[in-house]
Amino acid sequence: MTEARISPNAFWGPLDPSADAGYDDDRPKRKGFFTDTSICIGCKACEVACKEWNDVPSDHFDMTGTSYDNSHSLNANQWRHVAFIEQPVRPKQTVDLGMPGRAPAYVPGLPATGADPDPVGAGAPAPIDTSDLLGSMLAEAPGSDGGSASADSMDFRWLMSSDVCKHCTHAACLDVCPTGSLMRSEFGTVVVQDDICNGCGYCVAACPYGVIERRRGPDGHKNVGIAQKCTLCYDRLTAGQTPACAQSCPTQSIQFGDVEELRERAEARVAKLHEAGVMDARLYGNDPNDGVGGTGAFFLLLDEPEVYGFPPDPVVTTKDLPEMARKAATAAGVLLLGAAVSFLGRKP
């Protein structure tokens, strides 16, 4: 590791984080995760593997009563979290093409096809045969007055996403750490050194994603009171191994590798989904020009980031430090000048 150099984009913009931290040119390529949520099945194998390998306590698995997700969120004891986003959705409306055998028993204003036009009585509509698919849809469709569909017409969908520390290009947690416990590794990841952390909690407030947290328990477990988060299995990387979560993923929803190669793979995947008509597919965290300079762990989502609990436009919280320093220096200079004028202008 050579002497650290200050990059023009030290606080903002695209850069190679490990090079910015002073690693030599023979450093390994930046490593990260690409999580394709379109093929996540919510098995939570990644959570189990993470806990097993990193000796993360297994606690707080209570059901909330509002979701099948029993691990709730990322925290000091949950370095991987498979979020279940359970949403009511309306079934897509179809168009009646007038195909034989698919017409409803009765359509207002028209006689029933191939039947008595008024089987019940003069002017009375025939009952809709709800055993017929199209008839059922018409029974649940919005009324002619433009009103909404009934609650019975609502369907349900699950979005699943394995969330983790983003290993930001510009990591505010690392910037504010007063002890140097948080460090940038040669792989471009952000790692907590447990034996140096003093538990001040500055990093907790600095993280724009709410990932890092101080461990509060269980009593007797190691590292209680100090900051904890995903290390991207730093010990496994140094041994040339794949992180435990990616290794255990049965659908390859979590993909590990060189960040630049993963970005290309992610863009190709989005293009393929768009060709298949999944136009809501989008990437999150892959843009080096976003508010944190891009992330080492990024995602393919099937809805807006807010739906998954992600901030839509995250910004590194230390971005304004240089400007704040300049303003503080200006204010100090003005005060010093005022004091000097006051001293020189006083009467003998």
Give residue 116's pLDDT: 47
Give residue 140's pLDDT: 47
Instruction: Tell me: is residue 156 an annotated ligand-binding position.
Output: no
What residue ranges define each of the domains in the chain, with the CATH number in brackets? 17-87+159-316 (3.30.70.20)
Band of residue 65 on the pLDDT scale cut at 50, 70, 90: confident
Instruction: Tell me: is residue 119 an annotated ligand-binding position.
Output: no
Instruction: Tell me: is residue 40 an annotated ligand-binding position.
Output: yes
Give residue 205's pLDDT: 94
Instruction: Tell me: is residue 118 an annotated ligand-binding position.
Output: no
Among 27-36, 101-110, 152-161, 329-338, the range scoring the smallest mean pLDDT is 101-110
- The mean predicted confidence, pLDDT, of the chain is 83
Q: Tell me: pLDDT of 90 over 90.
A: no
- Percent above pLDDT 70 for the chain: 78
Q: How far is CA 106 from CA 2, 142, 143, 146, 148, in A?
A: 81, 16, 15, 20, 21
Give residue 348's pLDDT: 66
Instruction: Tell me: is residue 222 an annotated ligand-binding position.
Output: no
| Residue 199: how many other CB atoms lie within 10 Å | 14
SS3 223: coil
Which residues lie closer than 8 Å to 43 by C-beta, 6 or more apart?
82, 250
Instruction: Tell me: is residue 200 an annotated ligand-binding position.
Output: yes
Instruction: Tell me: is residue 338 an annotated ligand-binding position.
Output: no
Instruction: Tell me: is residue 165 an annotated ligand-binding position.
Output: yes
Whole-prediction pTM value? Answer: 0.74
Question: Residues, the chain, total?
Answer: 348
Q: How far is CA 14 from the centre of its chain?
A: 20
Query: Mind listing the pLDDT tens digit for each residue in 153-203?
Result: 667 888 999 999 999 999 999 999 999 999 999 999 999 999 999 999 999
